[in-house]
Amino acid sequence: MSLRIKATLQMKSRYTSQAASGLMGLHEAASQGSLTQMKDLLNTLTVNSRDNRGWTALMRAVEHDRRECVGQLLVSGASPSLTCKLGHSAIDVGKFWNRKACVDMMLPYNDADKASHHYFTSSPLTPAAHLRSDEEDIAGLSSSQYAQFIFNHNGKPLLKVTNRTDSSGRKRESLSLWKCDQEQLQQLKSHILLEVSSERLVFLGFDGESAPMFVILLTDSLVKTVTKASADAGTDLTLMDKSNYKGLLQLAEEDASIMAQSIGLCSWLNMYQYCATCGSETVIKEAGHKRHCLNTNCASQHSVQNTSYPRTDMSIITAVSSPDGNQFLLVRPQKMYPNMYTCVSGYVEPGESLESACSREVQEETGVDLCSVRYHSSQYWPFTSVLMLGFTGVANENSQIHIDENELEDAQWFTREEVVRAITGQHKSMMIPPPQAIAHHLVKQVLLDTFDINSKQTSKL
Ligand SMILES: [Zn+2]
């Protein structure tokens, strides 16, 4: 390394560490309510500067109820709608900690976009369902120079593995959805015998105006040959399995949604190779969106049957608060990630309303009775191919916990402080699921719903 580059790097590093210590000073001043010191630091620092967890000085001031500092930061241009790395804004922080005065001060400055969506549910693809039944159109699209292809084996996508070394010298592995364009697919075909017949091709839709996206269904032997041919060309591939679920929560959001859609569709195609109505063989139709029974006498051929089209099973998931809004029911299902607590969830049973399913699941698993439930939002969860329907619920007075030990390892009422610390990543021994999971947003919602529900008790925090 030349002396000049070394000197530049040293200057840069000095500048970065000075800026970081200035930022820490600003955040500390905001936390402690040191208005004069905070004003001085604002002369040299940007008001919305964030620390390594994405927190701003405004979030710090709000967390500690430093109203003078909150006022000064807002006047100086602090945004109450910026979010930290876990997706919480200063207004969320204010509601978590029941800082009503601070929240009231921030509301006029709030410019947040209220629209919300979940990870796995932000697909950029336009389905173009009218094209599915025309085999000629689908064949034409699959040979388009703009076509893109992903690969799947029995419901599991092929993923690209990238190894890199981070700034601290540690080796990291990251995953991405492996996509091929037409040229790459032809190169691959020139190395291996890869038949892409209509039986092995699933049309997902258009990415943008003219890029059709397909899934190629691989057999056992093709997975091996494709993986080997790709490794020879310098790209490492792996099939999705339980060991890489965590890595799949780090995908780009649009890729995560395309992957979720392909897993749901391809898992169904794999599981329904025989007709669920009569047991005969089925063949893939409508570019992977239908399984057609080969038995001409089968009832599925004479009426609309949900065995011929992709299934989406429903599961409810519920975040529960106590009637006074000061306690929150969280559970640890068997084999859950260490230290992690989440919401009660379970399949909807035949004949049940969603509300009944919430009450039944919470009662069965924890012994707690609910007096009300309210719908929040939904998220497709690809690892179990279910649509998670999210609710918030309020427990009856004096609900005692009785754990179903077949389902749960633990269930507890947690205080507001414990849950806020966990959701903001500040709890030493307790975690809740990350923002990529609907459970995170439901827990957040019950905290927001119970903001200032009982100011006398909550002001003790
Ligand atoms: Zn049949």
Structural domains present in the chain: 3-109 (1.25.40.20), 125-271 (3.90.79), 313-458 (3.90.79.10)
**Cα-to-centroid distance, 311 and ligand 1 (Å):** 16
How is residue 368 annotated by DSSP? P
Backbone angles phi, psi at 293, to 5 degrees: -75, 135
**Cα-to-centroid distance, 306 and ligand 1 (Å):** 12
Residue 460 is predicted with a pLDDT of: 34
Tokens 């749901």 sit on residue = 264
**Alpha-carbon span 318 to 343, nearest angstrom:** 6
**Cα-to-centroid distance, 262 and ligand 1 (Å):** 25
Give, as residue ranges, everything with CB less than 5 Å from ion ligand 1.
275, 277-278, 280, 293, 295, 298, 300
Rg (CA), the chain: 26
Tokens 């979010």 sit on residue = 83
Residue 9 is predicted with a pLDDT of: 39
Q: Report how far apart, in Å, the C-alpha atoms of 301 and of each of 33, 133, 290, 306 are.
A: 72, 16, 12, 11
- Rounded to two decimals, the pTM is 0.81
**Cα-to-centroid distance, 290 and ligand 1 (Å):** 13
Structure tokens at 425: 């990543």
**Cα-to-centroid distance, 289 and ligand 1 (Å):** 16
Count other C-beta atoms under 10 Å from residue 120's C-beta. Answer: 27
- The pLDDT tens digits for 19-59 are 556 788 999 999 999 999 998 888 877 788 888 888 999 99
Between strands 313-321 and 386-395, the pairing is: parallel
**Cα-to-centroid distance, 296 and ligand 1 (Å):** 8
Residue 112 is predicted with a pLDDT of: 61
Residues of the chain with pLDDT under 50: 1-18, 114-115, 455-461
Residue 8 is predicted with a pLDDT of: 39
Residue 267 is predicted with a pLDDT of: 94
- The pLDDT tens digits for 423-457 are 999 999 999 999 999 999 999 999 988 886 654 44
**Cα-to-centroid distance, 215 and ligand 1 (Å):** 25
